Structure 1
């Protein structure tokens, strides 16, 4: 099994709503105490029964794309010892690095596993805490969060994990505040994610936080996944008991997805909810209802988030002035753009550009 040759098995829904209102905005600059040096070496720690999907997704997100002009990234997988490791699908993969590989990592990812009990080896705990002590970012998601909790690095912090494991995590580690409503939780140099698919969102968020929106967007486009699903997005779609409406709902969803792609290409225009509803062949009321059911936010908030994402990319990759960027993304003036930036990042567009001026 080649982790570099595998592909993303299932895309997330292509909707990108705005950040949850009660989630504190984080600037693009790194947490205090960490140098402004984006990670380049990524090591994923795998236990027996490692999630094949999770391994495939992570290896693709952090694959080296320097040939495309992106920053070079060195990705590898380690286990407690080298040799054969069986995945959750019963496949055998050869692991060429043991836990000591985490010593030189800039970013350590504890992968989910279906093996029980969720207790890491003493060697892994030593390696993970050692990497953190040397300044590495340490991340985990799904059952990997429970493994990471055993290291003590989550004590006193918020953390996300699979909802089915939230109770176990809270009981075994009462000092950890388990957030069951977040896709991922950023606590500085420790970041955790919810279920297996939320690991994709968490990893893209880390790329965005450390390397910028432009880099994360390229990776997302290659993997055909949503470039941005913020931590507070409602990621559980309400089920319906009326089976006769499923075909109609599916058709509505397809038109809605096409409409959002259409809108992303026209952010410079003064789009309204009526414009979007007409494009989706829905009444404004039906459109707004279906939009919230599928994205967890309003059309207006979604448009603002898309414009901010595009503004971030332009600030990172062009020399356009703040006023010019504002015009390009559909904000009326540079002042409007500055206000949105202050709400999302807590800093100005100029300060954001400076943070990614490398």
Structure 2
């Protein structure tokens, strides 16, 4: 039987840990028997998990005999995992064990060197921190999960469920995965990726503000936030900032990694997301209200940034609100 070892580190996210326990623990093999043997492992007999404590039944030595190791996220990724945990992960992977992470568990895999030169993802909130800390990892921030063969990673929270169902389908087939999805009351495949959940181009949450300092762009970012519904051109933004277009482009690239027009599109898409979630206005009218000059351009930019159509986004978030 396929053994799944779930690693419970100190400060583990309880939701991330419980997801693989439930999905793999309830999955059935084609003969109707249990699909997996589940082990909860740790470097200590008991670990903190937010407001609760979780007991572990197995030590790190159990990772060596597992077929799959799942690494849930931790609440505080600024604290490195214990060295013995990283050693155990390296040894298990070197021995042929499949390794996967949920949410910020990707930081643990990266600390162990298992993501170097590989495609990976993590929770969108942590992408900038992840990129800065692990430049050798090929981060894909907009997807729900990445299957890179023997190493898999997922985005945050419910994306861990998507990853676990994907792994069940790989291991036991589509019928077993569909049944596991039904038990989880979740779709086997979700439309769109993590991109639709990202809060885009919000001036008040720039990296500079998070560091407690203001930047040369603060005034113009706040102005764009208020005036994005207007038919703005690059020259209009430069004029408001009282700089040349060349200087404006240079400052935007330096502080946001985007051009002014890319930033403006992100603000408009975020405003459209808010209206799709909270109003019954038609898609074309919402596009006009937030500043797009044509329905085709609105749909194109929305799909590019959110990964789904405006109507698909509305259906997803209206369904969530209703439930």
TM-score of the aligned structures, taking structure 1 as reference length:
0.55
State which of 106, 119, 130 in structure 2 corresponds to 1:145.
Answer: 106
Structure 1 residue 87 and structure 2 residue 121: aligned? no
More helix by share: 2
Partner deviation per Cα, 1:21-80 (whole Å, 9 max, x = no partner):
xxxxxxxxxxxxxxxxxx710001111221121122111001055598155311111111
Mapped to 2, the partners of 1:118 and 1:177 lie a distance apart of: 22
Q: What is residue 215 of structure 2 aligned with on the other side?
A: none
Query: CA distance change for structure 1 residues 40 and 132 in 2, over 3 Å: closer, same or farther?
Result: same
Match of 1:72 in 2: 35
Match in the other structure for 1:96:
57
CA distance in 2, matches of 1:180, 1:243: 23
Q: 1:166 aligns with which of 127, 139, 152?
A: 127
Structure 1 match to 2:15: 53
Is residue 250 of structure 2 the alignment partner of residue 216 of structure 1?
Answer: no
Other-structure match for 1:329: none
Cα offset, 1:213, TM superposition: 0.9
TM-score w.r.t. length of structure 2: 0.61
Q: Measured at CA, do residues 91 and 292 of structure 1 come closer, stay the same or move farther in structure 2, by a change above 3 Å?
A: closer
How far did 1:92 drift? 1.6
> Are 1:245 and 2:279 counterparts?
yes
The structure that has the greater radius of gyration is 2
> After superposition, what is the alpha-carbon deviation per residue over 1:233-275, rounded to whole angstroms, capped at 9, x for unaligned?
75428632488626x99xxxxxxxxxxxxxxxxxxxxxxxxxx
SS in 2 for 1:63: helix
Say if 1:141 and 1:160, in contact at 8 Å, map to a contact too: no
Are the equivalent residues in 2 in contact too, given 1:137–1:190 (CA < 8 A)? yes
Q: Distance in 1 between matches of 2:114 and 2:278?
A: 49
Does the aligned pair in 1 maintain the 2:121–2:145 contact within 8 Å? Answer: yes
Aligned to 2:211: none
Between 1 and 2, higher relative CO (CA 8 Å, sep ≥ 6) is seen in 1
Matches within 5 A, 1:4-153: 40-66=2-28, 69-82=32-45, 84-88=46-50, 90-153=51-114
1:44 counterpart SS class = strand
Query: Given that residues 141 and 195 in structure 2 are in contact (C-alpha distance below 8 angstroms), is that contact kept between their aligned partners in structure 1?
Result: no
Contact kept in structure 2, 1:184 and 1:231, CA below 8 Å: no
Cα distance between partner residues in 2 of 1:60 and 1:129: 26
Structure 1: any 5+ residue segments left out of the alignment?
1-38, 250-287, 297-358
Deviation at 1:117, TM superposition (A): 2.4
CA gap of 1:163–1:94, structure 2 versus 1, over 3 A, is same
Contact 2:40/2:58 (8 A) holds in 1: yes
Aligned partner (choices 186, 196, 210) of residue 225 of structure 1: 186
